[in-house]
A and B are shown apart, each in its own frame.
Chain A
Amino acid sequence: MTTARPTLFRRSHGDRVFRTILTVAAVVIPVLLALLIWQLWGEAAPAVRRFGLGFVTTSTWDPVAEQFGALPLIFGTLVSSLIALVIAVPLSLGVAIYLTEFAPNALRQPVAFVIGLLAAIPSVVYGLWGIFVLIPFLKSSVFPLLRDTLGFLPFFQGTIYGPSMLSAGIILAIMVMPYIMSVAREVLLAVPNSQREAALALGATRWEAVTSAVIPYARSGIIGAVILGLGRALGETMAVTMLIGNRHEIATSLFAPGYTMAAAIANEFAEAVGDIHLSSLAYVALVLFAVTVVVNAGARLLIWRVARGSGAGSSAL
C-alpha cells in the first residue's frame, strides 16, 4: 500500500478521488484487450471446434456447403504485404536516410511533413484512387511491360486482370511507405553524432559513413520499422478490398485476383449466410489479430533497442 511510504505532503481526499478516476481509465485499456480476445474467441469457437487447425491449411471456402478453409486468405495477406515491402522498403529507407543524413536543413522538416500527409489519407480514398487511376494505368502500361520483360518468371504470366494481387501490393506499398519512413527517420535521428564524425574523421565519404557507421548502429531499429510497416500492411483493409479482386484462390501469377483476411471479413461479415460462416470469419479475425500482435511486438522490441524511451514508433502510429 502506498500509505506505508513517507510523504512530504498531506494526502487529501481530492487526491484519492483523482487517482481513482485516472486508475479506472488506465484499467479500461487492458480490460478492453481482454474483452476483445474473449469475444473473438467466443465468436470463433464453433469454427475452431469444427475445423481445428486444418482451417489454416485448407483452401475450400464454400458458405453453401458450410466448408471453410482460410489458406488462400493467409496466402493473399502474406503475398500482398511482401510485394508492398519489396517496393516500399528501399524507397522509404532511401528517403529516411536522405532526410537525416544528406538533405539541406531547410528541406528536412517540410519533406517529412508532406510524406507524413500520405499517412493521413484514409484507406478508402486510396481504394477509390486505385480503382479509377492506378489500375487503368497499371493494366495499360506497367503490367504488359512486366509480362514482356519478366514473363519468364511464373509470377508475371497469364491473363492480365485489373484488380489483382500486384495492384493491391502496389497500393499497400504507397500506404505503408510513410510509416516505415517516419519510424526509420526517428531511429536514425537517435544515432549519436559521434558515430558519423568518427567515420568521417577516418576519411569515409558521407555515403560510406552511412553504410559503415550509421546503419549498423541503427540496424535493429530499422528492421523494427520495416516490421512495423509489415504489421500495417497485414491489417490494411479497405484499399486492398477494393483492388485485390476478392477471389478465394491461390494463383502463382501476381496478375491474378486474390483475397486477404481483412478483405474477406470486410466483404462477407455483414452478409454472412449462416452461423458457421460468421464463426469462420471471426476465426479469420482471430488469426489476423494473433499475427499482427506477434509482428508488432517483435517490431517494438527491436525499435526499443536503438531508441529506448524516445517513444519512437508510437507517434507514427
Chain B
Amino acid sequence: MTSAAASGARRRAFRRAKSNVMVGLMIAAVILAVLPLVLILATLVIKGASSLNLAFFTKLPVPAGEVGGGVAHAIVGTLVIVGVASLIGLPIGIAAGIYCAEYRSSRLTWVTRFVADVLNGTPSIVIGVFAWTLIVAKQKHFSALAGSAALAMLMIPMVMRTTEEMIKLVPNSLREAALALGYPRWRTTLGVVVRSTLPGIVTGSMLAVARIAGETAPLLFTALGSQYFSTKLNQPMAALPLTVFTYATGPYEEWHRFAWASALVLIIVVFVLSVAARLTIGRTRHG
C-alpha cells in the first residue's frame, strides 16, 4: 500500500519534472529564435552607422577604389520604383479585396482568393522572370518600370488578402443600417464599410510597401541597377536592395562599408513602416 503510494508519488514527480524540462527547452528555443534578430541589428548598427553622413545621402558613388561618395541615386531609385509599384498595386489590391469581401457569394470571389494565395506563395524571382518576359524582352532594354510592375504584382495579392480580412470584420448590422437609411450599395461600401476599416486597410498597405521595399530578386533583371542618378522610368535605375547586393558581393573594403550602411538605411525604412503598421493594427483590435 505504502510502496504503491510512494511509486505513484515518484511517478507524479517525474511527470512534473518532465513538464518543467520541456518548458525549459522551449524557453531556450525562444532565446535562440530572438538571438539572430539581436545579432543582425547590432551588426548593422555597428558596421553601418559610422558611414551614415550627409555625403552618403546626397552624393553619387565614386569609382571603385576611391574613398567617399554616397548612394543618393539608389535612395531616389528605391523611392521611385516603390512609389510607382504602390500606385499600380495598392488601388488594384484594395479594390479586389473590397470585391471579395462584399460579394462573397460570387464565384469570381472564390477564384480570386485562391489565385491570390497561389501568387502570395510564388517566389519573387519567378515574378521577376515574368516581368522580364512581359516588359524587358518586348522593349529590348531594362527599365525601372519593369521593376515597378514586378513589385506591384507582389503587392496586389498581399494587399487584396489583408483588405478582405479587414472588411470581413465589419458587422453586417452596419451595412444593413446604411442600406435601411436609403444609401445605395456603393455609398454603403465606401462611406460606411471601407471607412470604418480604413486604419486596417492602411496598415495592410504599409506592410505590403515595407515588404516590397526590401525585395531584390525581382529587380535583378528588370530595374537592373545603375551607377547614375536617374528618374526615367524607361531606363535602368538603381535601388537600395540592389546596391546592398552589388556592394556586398564586390571585392572592395569601401564597397562593404557602403553595403552595411545601405542595409542599415533599408532596414530602418522597413522597420519603421512595419512597426507603425503593426501598432495601428494593435490599436484597432483593442479599441
Contacts and interface: CB of A to CB of B under 8 A. Distances in A.
Interface of A: 8-12, 14-15, 17-19, 21-30, 32-33, 35-36, 39-40, 42-43, 90-92, 94-95, 97-99, 102, 109, 111, 113-118, 120-129, 131-133, 174, 177-178, 181, 205-208, 228, 231, 234-238, 242, 262, 265-266, 269-270, 281-282, 285, 288-289, 292-293, 295-297, 300, 311, 314-315, 317
B107 to A, nearest CB: 11
7 contacts: A26-B99, A29-B119, A121-B214, A127-B244, A228-B121, A269-B129, A311-B165
A262 B123 contact: yes
Nearest to B31: A95
Contacts of B274: 117, 120
B108 interface: yes
Interface string B115-128: 11111111111111
B177 to A, nearest CB: 13
A94 B184 contact: no
A23 to B, nearest CB: 6
Contacts of B216: 122-124, 237-238
Contacts, number: 284
Contact of A114 (B37, B109, B142): B37
B263 A125 contact: yes
Contact of B129 (A109, A113, A228, A265): A265
Interface stretch (B65-73, B79-87, B217-225): B217-225
Contact of A314 (B22, B47, B120, B142): B120
B162 A315 contact: yes
Given A111-B30, A126-B40, A237-B216, 20 more contacts: A8-B179, A22-B102, A26-B100, A29-B119, A43-B133, A91-B29, A98-B23, A120-B214, A121-B40, A123-B215, A125-B44, A131-B249, A132-B256, A235-B126, A262-B217, A270-B220, A282-B129, A288-B126, A295-B121, A296-B121
Contact of A120 (B108, B118, B256, B270): B270
A36 B126 CA distance: 9
Contacts of B33: 91-92, 95, 115, 118, 177-178, 181
B36 interface: yes
B263 A128 contact: yes
Contacts of A125: 40, 44, 214, 244, 263, 266-267
Contact of B184 (A12, A231, A262, A289): A12
